[in-house]
Chain A
Amino acid sequence: MSKRSDMTATKNWSGQTMVTADHMLFEAPRTKHFMTGSEVLKEAVKRCTVDASVSYPITPQSEAAHLIGELWAEGYVGMYFRGENEFGVMSEVAGCAMSGSRTITTTSGPGTLRAMENFPQWSGTRIPCQLILMARGINSPLTIQPDNLEVTFMLETGCMIWYAENVQELFDMSIAAFIVAEKPDVHVPIVTVVDGFFVSHTRESVMLPNDDIALLPYEPYKSPLPPIDSETPPGRFLRDPFVMKSNYISYATHASWQWEVRSAVERSRPYAEHFLKGLLHESGDVDAEIAFITCGTASHQAKEGQRELAKLGIKSKVIKLRTIRPFPTKELIKSLEGVKHAWVPEFNVVGWLEKEVKTALYGKSDTNIIGGPRVAGGMSLPAEAIIQEVMEVLNPGKGA
């Protein structure tokens, strides 16, 4: 097993030179590769000095978990093991992270729900682990296609949630995610979401720095709670008793604890701003009166719609949300200045992003927010569907 005691001042246990996240993400030279999302995630984990990973790969899974296992075999990941099931995995991730390990796992779809109880427990114990959620829906019958319904269940777990559109964003985000999650004033779990299949299984070009560099290790003694370390006081306090003995704890403790977790997510804003170059990205016509508010691969389809609308002489823009928790309310309000109609295209039946947008903007924006178009269960979201929705508002009854 690779371990911290094998490190030197400049090299990690696998001999990679340790660098800052700024160097890794903004300064190190990059070369072009052609990879699936799962392969790209392996490349990101390889460069993150990851102490531990736990997995429960179950058909039909993405390759991501077993590729991280290969990294363990190659000596890049300190520890890797298989959980008993998804609940076990997420519990074991908690144990690894509480002991001071930089920890990552992946899941999707029904596995996410099976493990559900763990996610608010993760944030409540302030562990900075990372979950890569390769969203593929939770509907029955089963789908392995890109449907992101499970994200709606993750929204109020107290975890940060970032959303990547493509393999490049997955690579960059999953590296930055560790660093932001590990900031002492943040220090909550982070869920990095990509749409399964489209991103996890599809090859795209991606720019990667050399694999002879890796992030500096996690520093558990900057944790806002004592890490589990029986040899170093005050480690003996562990995180017992949490807030479970409520019969003799003031209600204020539990309330304050929950607000503190959510405050921690909010404190991540300036760090996310730095590493993601903004909590949202805009593309298209800056002065457009029509906009699409998106995340994930819906952004890609909306961009296609924007290009087609431009051919019809209609200006529009795409506002891609890169963080869902914290939600970029202030930035979105600014982006919508001058916008009359904004659509929220999504890969799920419930329209969770539409609800998020409407909640955030209620009473703060005059833009008419329109949910849809929505597809689900693995259907694609053609640009034509987006254009049709727009034309039905702009040119009622006459179509495109």
Chain B
Amino acid sequence: MANQGPAYYSPYPTAVYEGVITPPEGKALLLEDVVDEEIAMREIAKVMLTSENATIFPGPQVLYAYNEEAKKKAKLIKEMAEVLNCKMIPMYDYRPKYPKIDAEVEINPNHPNLTIWHNNIKAAIFIGVHCHYANVALKIVRAETDCYTVAICGLSGHEDAMATLRDQHSSELEKFIKIAREVKSELKL
């Protein structure tokens, strides 16, 4: 079971009730600490490179080519997966799945723990997921699994993730990929 994150096992109360809120502009959040973005990027890369079955969960905002930025981000996320040696499982919509999710091929914000359990995922990046659904999922994941969660967000970030980057557009993703390559090299992976 989970033993990381400001609220530990329980989603009740959530991170904000422990006094942790989204990081200010230009900063990132590592557990309950506000840190420089680059420090968080290095830690995220290290966790993803060294955790069992690390996975990226891309959401609708990067799965559908509804604008040029989405297309660019999607290509960068594929590159990110290659650099981090991780797989991708999409969160392609937000509808609960009946009678049961196919945990092999998708993740869903209403029962994200099922996919994490099934695939034994120990670290995951949420990216391109609408903020509300990311937050709903992150609270459940922290309560029900021991997965280290990372939220790479185009808006304000997510305090319920164990690491969060905010205002992440394609230029920031390029920076993260560059840092991930450096960390990978340092770890001799």
A interface list, Cβ under 8 A from B: 126, 183-185, 187, 222-226, 232-234, 237, 240-241, 243, 245, 248-250, 252-253, 255-257, 259-260, 262-263, 266-267, 269-270
Chain B contact residues, majority secondary structure: loop
Binds A, one of B34-42, B46-54, B79-87, B88-96: B88-96
* Contact in complex: B16, A253 (CB < 8 Å): no
How big is the B interface, by class? 35 or more
A52 to chain B, nearest CB (A): 22
* Contact in complex: A267, B111 (CB < 8 Å): no
Closest residue of chain B to A241, judged by CB? Answer: B95
B135 to chain A, nearest CB (A): 5
B156: chain A residues at CB < 8 Å are: 183-185, 267
Closest residue of chain A to B93, judged by CB? Answer: A237
Asked, given contacts A224-B132, A257-B136, A259-B139, whether A185 binds B110 with beta carbons under 8 Å apart, the answer is no
- A266–B19 Cα distance when bound, in Å, is 9
| Interface assignment of B115: CB less than 8 Å from any CB of chain A | no
Closest residue of chain B to A330, judged by CB? Answer: B19
A48 to chain B, nearest CB (A): 22
* Contact in complex: A269, B131 (CB < 8 Å): no
- A141–B81 Cα distance when bound, in Å, is 67
* Contact in complex: B130, A223 (CB < 8 Å): yes
* Contact in complex: A237, B64 (CB < 8 Å): no
- A259–B138 Cα distance when bound, in Å, is 12
* Contact in complex: B110, A259 (CB < 8 Å): no
- A270–B16 Cα distance when bound, in Å, is 12
B55: chain A residues at CB < 8 Å are: none
B interface list, Cβ under 8 A from A: 11-17, 21-22, 60-61, 63-64, 66, 93-96, 98-99, 109-111, 113, 130-133, 135-137, 139-140, 143-144, 155-157, 159-160
User: Looking at A126, A262, A263, which has the most chain B CB atoms within 10 Å of its CB?
Assistant: A263
Closest residue of chain A to B166, judged by CB? Answer: A185
Q: Looking at the complex, which one of B13, B99, B133 makes contact with A259 (CB distance below 8 Å)?
A: B13
A271 to chain B, nearest CB (A): 11
Closest residue of chain B to A269, judged by CB? Answer: B21
- A135–B110 Cα distance when bound, in Å, is 38
- A263–B6 Cα distance when bound, in Å, is 14
* Contact in complex: B96, A253 (CB < 8 Å): yes
Closest residue of chain A to B98, judged by CB? Answer: A248
* Contact in complex: A248, B143 (CB < 8 Å): no
* Contact in complex: A256, B136 (CB < 8 Å): yes
- A250–B144 Cα distance when bound, in Å, is 12
* Contact in complex: B14, A185 (CB < 8 Å): no
Asked, given contacts A234-B64, A241-B96, A249-B96, whether A266 binds B16 with beta carbons under 8 Å apart, the answer is yes
Q: Looking at the complex, which one of A245, A259, A262 makes contact with B98 (CB distance below 8 Å)?
A: A245
A55 to chain B, nearest CB (A): 28
Closest residue of chain B to A267, judged by CB? Answer: B21
* Contact in complex: B144, A226 (CB < 8 Å): no
